[in-house]
Amino acid sequence: MHQLDAAVQECRACKQNWHMKHSLDSWYAYFSNWVSIGSCSVVTASIVPGQKIVLPEAQFYDCLQEWFLTDFGRNKKNDIVMEDGKISGWREYVTPIKTENLYEDGRTYLTDMRRVLGQYGIEKTYAYSKDLLTMEMFVVLVKETVISCASSIAAIFCIVMLITCSLRISLLVLLCVVQTDYFLCAMLPLFDLTFNNVVAIYLLTSLGLSVLYAMQFSHKFLNVDAPDALDRKE
């Protein structure tokens, strides 16, 4: 716990220190200090005030229950999940330094936090906040947009092939759809746009519109007879 708290507060081996100094709010730090000053009646060994000690499991939970009876321990009790008298999970708080560029800094912060929690935390330790949900979106945005577009293009090809029974027309529609999204992506830097969720929706919407006009032209092409030589002369 001490190592985890220190690693999160310092953000060890991170690209930069993402957290405000001394902003970590940990129930364990308060509980440990409470025990180290000799406030727990269960601990019979001599304690040097301020010195960190290691308690046997039975004494640890007895001290924890006694700490819950104090005003501060009662307030922190909601941060701890107990199952069958044992700790199965807990919650801590830390204040990140505000950043203006969630797209770049947010992805780096999320990667650093996952590495720190994976290295120093116990199994299933994770970070959560509303801002992290936005950062998570930026991490998976490009990958999921590519998967969505590729899946849509594959579905379009299958449906057009089923309707027209023409490989040539299906490939023509597919080419129109791919070129539409390709040129739209190429135009993003020209307008100084950042690839975000709005642009992803814009691309998928454009994909649907390109299918609409390409399919109409293709269907009309199949239903119109080619003019004969006499009609062309006239």
> Three-state SS across 27-63?
HHHHHHHHHHCCCCCCCCCCCCCCCCCCCCHHHHHHH
In a domain, 67, yes or no: yes
- Tell me if 128 is assigned to some domain: no
Domain containing 227 equals: 140-233
pLDDT of the residue at 140: 81
Classify each residue of 172-209 as buried b or exposed e, where b means 16 or more C-beta atoms within 10 Å of its C-beta: bbbebbeebbeeeeeeeeeeeeebeeebbeebeebbee
> Percent of the chain, pLDDT > 70?
88
Q: Is pLDDT of 231 > 60?
A: no
pLDDT surpasses 80 at 212: no
Determine the average pLDDT of the residues in 33-53: 73
Residues 13 and 75 in one domain: yes
Tally of domains within the chain: 2
Domain end call among 43, 62, 97: 97
Residue 50 lies in a domain: yes
CA distance 187 to 181: 10
Residue that is last in its domain, among 39, 64, 97: 97
Q: What is the pLDDT of residues 51-100, one digit of tens each?
A: 667 778 888 899 999 999 999 899 999 999 888 888 888 889 888 888 77
- Residue after which a domain boundary falls, among 97, 132, 148: 97
Domain contains 229: yes
What are the backbone dihedrals phi and psi of residue 25, each rounded to the nearest 5 degrees, phi first? -110, 100
CA distance 81 to 88: 6
pTM for this prediction? 0.61
Nearest to 111 by CA among 16, 231, 182, 210: 16
Does 45 reside within a domain?
yes
Residue pair 156/215 in contact by the 8 Å Cβ criterion: no
Shared domain for 144 and 92, answered yes or no, is no
The pLDDT score that the predictor gives to residue 69 is 92
Task: Quote the tokens at residue 177.
Answer: 């759809």
